[in-house]
């Protein structure tokens, strides 16, 4: 087990700036000093294990470069360690292992993405806005009816809205929603590396539970097809046209998990930003047309997915550095979002920032977030409705940040709701 524990902790290296970046809780609290340290070393920093960049231009180009592929879980480990990791892993689908969209390249990627992309176009999402509004209002009606004055807004609202929306799209019945939220909570660190053994086991449990639930859900919909994306996916895969069974579970599972694991963080961070910056909230009350830009500014400043990575497919020159085949470059999206060469006064929250939408929080290139339009719409409708219904909403404590390194957001955020409007 000592060996396995070593693997599970493989990301952590003393005196490695990369390890400091991802592992230090102080960095999660305030990333500015670490970003500055990396920036002062140039546009690409060669750490011991990986290279990394917080430079907007370099991140932007890397995500679109054909010299790089996405990371596949475990693929960068030396062969003997990889074999052990394989044996210790369950058969559950991992978000960073094929056939997950996140870890495949064309032609598979093109095929999987084509199957789901039509549902998430800007046009399709705009047609969902009415439903979104109804769902947000329902959740807030329940809050008003419950008569509570102080709530954990993450639990009461931020987690419930996205899970309701994506569940509708994928035909998940209301009684299953709390369960999949729990699996999601357990599995969220699956995107991180440098996990402790205990964390590693919890992640496995979450992935396994989610996978089993998903298999049952697919079986149920096979027998009882409905008017939802999942039923369509099942029908097309049963025709043998698009996806085999594993591909179907991986694709639907990723869309579902990405649909409720990320937007919850944007909503929580957004609420936190607004209650701590009343001048910016006042601007939104004065001019509601700013909401859409405000959501981009929140995405920029609190990037719910802090980083991603790409791996060199062959020897390649980047910013004057020679990278060997297999070299990983960590693209710190949150760092690129605070690049002072692109954003004036980058650490300031400004809902009217003219180029707020130049953030890289949804990544770029062929893996650009499939749910970007949905996430934007959910956040805009969700936040605007919340503050319109509870204009005096205020902080009731600091809240607890998530412990994950790739995902950033609040686990809990207590607020006083104030009088409903
Ligand atoms: C991919 C961020 C919401 C579905 C991604 C990636 C990022 C991201 C950074 C690409 C990772 C990479 O390039 O390595 C976010 C953020 C969200 C959000 C910040 C909310 C604020 C959603 C929602 C859905 C979704 C609501 C579901 C409808 C996906 C899928 C992919 C993806 C399926 C994989 C795309 C591919 O590899 O081709 N997301 N996402 N995301 N996202 Fe999102």
pLDDT of 86? 57
Ligand 1 touching residue 337 (CB < 6 A): no
Q: Are 5 and 197 in contact (CB under 8 A)?
A: yes
Nearest CA to ligand 1 atom 15: 362
Query: Is the CB of 269 within 6 Å of ligand 1?
Result: no
Taking the domains of the chain in order of start, what are their residue ranges? 2-416
Helix (H, G, I), strand (E, B) or coil at 46: strand
Distance CA 209, CA 356 (A): 38
Domain 2-416, architecture per CATH: Orthogonal Bundle (1.10)
Residue pLDDT, tens place only, 295-342 = 999 999 999 999 999 999 999 999 999 999 989 899 999 999 999 999
Higher pLDDT among residues 405 and 328, named by residue: 328
In this structure, the residue with its CA closest to atom 5 of ligand 1 is 369
The answer on pLDDT for 5 being more than 50 is no
- Nearest partner of 393 among 268, 296, 299, 300, judged by Cα: 268
Residue 9 clears pLDDT 50, i.e. is over it: no
- Does residue 258's CB lie within 6 angstroms of at least one atom of ligand 1? yes
262 lines ligand 1 (CB under 6 A): yes
Q: How many Cβ atoms are within 10 Å of 34's Cβ, its own excluded?
A: 20
Task: For ligand 1, pick from 73, 98, 254, 262 the residue to mutate: most ligand atoms within 8 Å of CB.
Answer: 262
7-11, 23-27, 228-232: the lowest-pLDDT one: 7-11
Pocket of ligand 1 contains residue 60 by CB under 6 Å: no
Helix or strand (DSSP H, E) at 188: none
Closest atom, ligand 1, to C-alpha of 251: 33
The pTM of this model reads 0.91
Q: Whose CA is nearest to atom 4 of ligand 1?
A: 371
Ligand 1 atom 40: the closest Cα is on which residue? 369
Mutate to test the pocket of ligand 1, among 255, 369, 382 (most ligand atoms within 8 A of CB): 369
Between CA 108 and CA 191 the distance in angstroms is: 21
Helix (H, G, I), strand (E, B), or coil: what is residue 18?
helix
Q: Is the CB of 186 under 6 A from ligand 1?
A: no
pLDDT surpasses 90 at 381: yes
Q: What is the maximal distance between C-alpha atoms in the chain? A: 62
pLDDT tens string 278-288: 999 999 999 99
What would the two tokens of residue 414 be?
A: 């207590």
């Amino acid at each position: 087990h000592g060996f396995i524990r070593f693997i599970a902790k493989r990301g952590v290296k003393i005196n490695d700036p990369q390890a400091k970046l991802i592992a230090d809780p102080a960095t999660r609290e305030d990333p500015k000093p670490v970003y500055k340290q990396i920036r002062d070393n140039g546009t690409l920093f060669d750490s011991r294990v990986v290279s990394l960049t917080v430079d907007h231009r370099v991140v932007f180009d890397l995500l679109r470069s054909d010299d790089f592929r996405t990371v596949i879980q475990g693929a960068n480990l030396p062969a003997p360690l990889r074999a052990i990791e394989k044996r210790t892993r369950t058969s559950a689908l991992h978000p960073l292992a094929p056939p997950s969209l996140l870890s495949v390249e064309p032609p598979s990627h093109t095929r999987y993405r084509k199957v789901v992309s039509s549902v998430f176009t800007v046009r399709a999402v705009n047609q969902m806005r009415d439903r979104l509004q109804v769902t947000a209002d329902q959740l807030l009606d329940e809050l008003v009816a419950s008569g509570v004055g102080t709530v954990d807004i993450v639990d009461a609202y931020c987690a419930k809205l996205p899970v309701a929306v994506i569940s509708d799209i994928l035909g998940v019945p209301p009684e299953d929603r709390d369960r999949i939220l729990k699996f999601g909570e357990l599995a969220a660190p699956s995107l991180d590396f440098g996990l402790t053994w205990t964390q590693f086991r919890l992640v496995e449990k979450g992935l396994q539970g989610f996978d089993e639930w998903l298999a049952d859900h697919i079986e149920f919909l096979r027998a009882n097809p409905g008017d939802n994306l999942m039923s369509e996916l099942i029908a097309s895969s049963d025709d043998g046209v698009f996806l085999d069974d594993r591909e179907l579970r991986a694709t639907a599972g990723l869309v579902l998990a990405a649909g409720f694991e990320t937007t919850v963080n944007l909503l929580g961070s957004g609420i936190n930003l607004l209650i701590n910056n009343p001048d910016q909230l006042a601007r939104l009350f004065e001019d509601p047309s700013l909401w859409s830009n405000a959501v981009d500014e929140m995405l920029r400043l609190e990037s719910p997915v802090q980083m991603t990575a790409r791996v060199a497919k062959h020897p390649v020159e980047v910013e004057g550095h020679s990278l060997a085949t297999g070299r990983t470059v960590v693209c710190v999206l949150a760092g690129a979002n605070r690049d002072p060469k692109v954003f004036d006064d980058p650490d300031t929250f400004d809902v009217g920032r003219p180029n707020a939408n130049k953030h890289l929080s949804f990544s770029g290139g062929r893996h650009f977030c499939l749910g970007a339009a949905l996430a934007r719409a959910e956040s805009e409708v969700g936040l605007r409705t919340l503050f319109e219904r509870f204009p005096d909403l205020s902080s009731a404590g600091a809240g607890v940040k998530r412990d994950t390194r790739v995902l950033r957001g609040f686990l809990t955020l207590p607020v006083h709701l104030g009088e409903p409007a």
